[in-house]
């Protein structure tokens, strides 16, 4: 039979995911803990352990495909998880299998029922990786001290109140109170935040921000090891709209240039880059 072994990666998870996330939010950035969970835990510590135990491959239930050590979008576009896997390398992909990446979710559930798996009717997982369905704001409040502060308009006028600048991300449309608003005004979204002053600035949806056609990236990873030489597609946020852009090198850094960058981008978020269905890699917004 196949031996069953367990591995405790609680320490790696706390240091690489939870501590990282809290540090980023405290610095006023918006991290993606699911990306770090994949990088540090599943395809970091766990993959290394499996190989040290003599395994040739590990298999996970991600909706993505590995074609000749190239990361490709999952067949089910509604469930594609390649966005969270941009930190992988072609060397790691030599030892990774995605056995359901070519299937649609209903087909997977049907197969699970056929083999009487207890997860056959389980709801899709939501929320923070390994922690579950909890609002990020509520989770952060357990670890970070926050206090209410002012909501400002673009002219610096106080127009409302928020629960703590650390708890908000750029582009967020809820969670703050606008006290000076006319009935005909369009919704507001968070344009920027100042953690030191504990203020957030909001503006109306549809307002184009200045200097919003360039994003400087850090911690960039090219899955193949090579940066793209032609135009690519980019995605910010899981299931975010793809837009066409170009990667240039400038002063030792990679810069994404595009006239279609969404307004609601925040430092710390992942930008994932594609050539058709192939995931090229990505980086973190500086």
At residue 92's C-alpha, the angle toward residues 50 and 15, to 5°, is 65
Tell me the C-alpha to C-alpha distance, in Å, between residue 78 and each of 84, 98, 106, 192, 271.
14, 16, 12, 30, 19
User: Catalytic pick from 21, 37, 40, 64?
Assistant: 37
HSE, side-chain direction, 13 A CA sphere, residue 51: 13
Tokens describing residue 208: 């184009």
User: Catalytic pick from 93, 100, 129, 266?
Assistant: 129
The total of other beta-carbon atoms located within 10 Å of residue 244's CB is 11
279 catalytic residue (yes or no): no
**Closest alpha carbon to 234 in 262, 197, 273, 189:** 273
Sign of the Cα torsion 89, 73, 247, 32 reads: negative
Tokens describing residue 261: 């960058």
Residues 76 and 61: their CA atoms lie apart, in Å, by 13
Helix (H, G, I), strand (E, B) or coil at 273: strand
Q: Which residues are catalytic?
A: 37, 129
């Amino acid at each position: 039979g196949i031996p069953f072994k367990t591995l405790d990666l609680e320490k790696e998870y706390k240091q690489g995911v939870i501590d990282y996330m809290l540090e980023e939010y405290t610095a006023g950035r918006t991290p993606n803990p699911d990306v770090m969970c994949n990088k540090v835990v599943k395809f970091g510590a766990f993959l290394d352990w499996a190989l040290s135990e003599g395994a040739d491959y590990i298999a996970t239930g991600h909706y993505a495909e590995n074609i000749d050590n190239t990361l490709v979008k999952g067949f089910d576009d509604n469930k594609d998880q390649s966005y969270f896997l941009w930190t992988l390398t072609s060397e790691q992909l030599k030892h990774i299998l995605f056995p359901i990446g070519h299937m649609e979710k209903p087909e997977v559930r049907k197969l699970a029922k056929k083999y009487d798996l207890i997860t056959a009717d389980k709801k899709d997982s939501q929320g923070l990786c390994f922690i579950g369905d909890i609002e990020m704001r509520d989770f952060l409040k357990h670890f970070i001290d926050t206090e209410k502060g002012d909501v400002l308009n673009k002219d610096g006028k106080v127009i409302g109140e928020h629960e703590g600048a650390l708890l908000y991300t750029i582009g967020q449309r809820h969670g703050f109170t606008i006290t000076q608003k006319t009935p005909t005004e369009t919704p507001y979204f968070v344009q920027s935040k100042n953690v030191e002053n504990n203020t957030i600035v909001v503006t109306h949806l549809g307002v184009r921000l200045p200097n919003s056609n360039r994003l400087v990236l850090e911690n960039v990873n090219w899955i193949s090891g090579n940066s793209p030489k032609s135009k690519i597609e980019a995605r910010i946020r899981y299931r975010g709209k793809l837009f066409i852009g170009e990667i240039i090198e400038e002063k030792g850094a990679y810069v994404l240039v595009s006239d279609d960058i969404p307004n609601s981008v925040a430092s710390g978020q992942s930008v994932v880059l594609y050539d058709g269905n192939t995931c090229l890699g990505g980086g973190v917004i500086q």
